[in-house]
Amino acid sequence: MKNILLIGLGRFGRHIAEELYRLDHRIMAVDMDENRVNAVLGFVTNAQIGDSTDKLFLSSLGVDNYDAAIVAIGDDFQSSLETTSLLKELGSRHVIARAATEVHEKFLLRNGADEVIYPEKELAKWTAVKCTSDHILDFIPIDGELSILEITVPDQWRSKSIVALDIRKKYGINILGIRRNGNIELSFDPSTVLTDKMSLYVAGDMRAIKKCFHL
């Protein structure tokens, strides 16, 4: 369980609050809008109505006591930038800030953000990959071109064993796990014969994945 400071409770911030709640983390939620604060009270440990660009207010929250601070402000980049900078100035351990554009991302990193999330960009990437192949069930970008995908078993792979396919040698792609009967198996026998009742978790460079799955 971690203590998280969440600043900005629009739609994105509220979704973060809900997910953190499901993961049993302790959350301090902050927004200037009373209605937004009231809307997340069922998902957070504590909440404050206040201006995160006000240094005295932010300092009163004891930002250095939190494992991470998430700046989820999406409708006012100047406030997001100022909040990010103040958090680092006040000793926040790890600041994660939301960016709406690549320019925002660069400014946030220069002004104290330890990590920047770009939800619109990631969603666009996921949608583009998903709609270009019937095989892809889920897509998780990891770092640079490295990604993990959940895929249905392609027709030409069915009734063949994992070791016989040897996709690591052919494409540089690793099979990490198998899902069957609703269960994920991370330890599996290479002699396992693939069927249309399974899906696979694979990891690799996107260029190799595109070649393998004809994206």
Residues 53 and 154 in one domain: no
Q: What is the pLDDT of residue 72?
A: 93
Residues 64 and 167 in one domain: no
Structural domain of 160: 122-213
The stretches of 5-113 forming alpha helices (DSSP H) are 11-22, 34-39, 55-60, 77-89, 102-110
Domain boundary among 117, 152, 182: 117
Residues 22 and 89 in one domain: yes
Residues 127 and 168 in one domain: yes
Residues 111 and 173 in one domain: no
Residues 90 and 141 in one domain: no
The Cα-based distances of 18 to 22, 127, 207 in angstroms read 6, 23, 35
Residues 102 and 127 in one domain: no
DSSP-based three-state secondary structure for 213: helix
Based on the structure, what is the number of domains in the chain?
2
pTM for the structure as a whole: 0.66
121-145 burial, b if ≥16 CB within 10 A, otherwise e?
eeeeebeebeeebebbeebebeeee
Q: What is the pLDDT of residue 88?
A: 95
Specify whether the CB–CB gap between 108 and 42 falls below 8 A: no
Residues 83 and 127 in one domain: no
Q: What is the pLDDT of residue 120?
A: 67
> Mean pLDDT per segment of 10 residues, for the chain of length 215 residues?
94 91 94 95 95 96 95 90 96 92 88 85 67 73 77 89 89 90 87 91 85 74
Q: What is the pLDDT of residue 73?
A: 92
